[in-house]
Amino acid sequence: MNRPSLQFKKDHYVLSGSLNTYTVPGLWQLSQDILKNDKASLILFNLENVIQSDSSGVALLVAWKRMLKQRNQEIRLVALPTQMLAIIRVSDLEKILPINRSQ
């Protein structure tokens, strides 16, 4: 199992590793600590280094969306793995999760 990480790079966050029922709870806690001090109006997450994800990873994205919305911040997701995009489509979450397909 490849442990996930969330790191800030220049003007965005880079998410990497495996997102599943075993790793997402710890990543959720870590992300709350990291994001609590970010006051930017738009928070960008790059997921190009996510190597595997199940529905727990998508649930994490929805939780981030909800948390940031409560703080009047927007979320933008780029470079989602095909696996996550498929889960988002079949779950009818495309209108909820703002995915930037151009990057």
pLDDT in tens, the chain (103 residues): 689 999 999 899 999 999 999 999 999 999 999 999 999 999 999 999 999 999 999 999 999 999 999 999 999 999 999 999 999 999 999 999 988 765 4
Is there a contact between 71 and 38 (Cβ–Cβ < 8 Å)?
Answer: no
Query: For residue 18, what pLDDT is reported?
Result: 97
20 Cβ neighbours under 8 A, 6+ residues apart:
1, 52, 53, 54, 56, 57
List the domain boundaries for the chain: 5-91
The residue whose two tokens read 């220049």 is 10
Could you say which of 3.50.50.60, 3.40.50.300, 3.30.750.24, 3.40.50.2000 is the CATH number of the domain covering 5-91? 3.30.750.24
- CB distance 64 to 31 below 8 Å: yes
Q: How far is CA 84 from CA 35, 54, 73, 75, 89, in A?
A: 22, 7, 23, 16, 9
Which residue in the block uniquely carries the two structure tokens 């190009």?
A: 48
pTM (2 decimals)?
Answer: 0.92
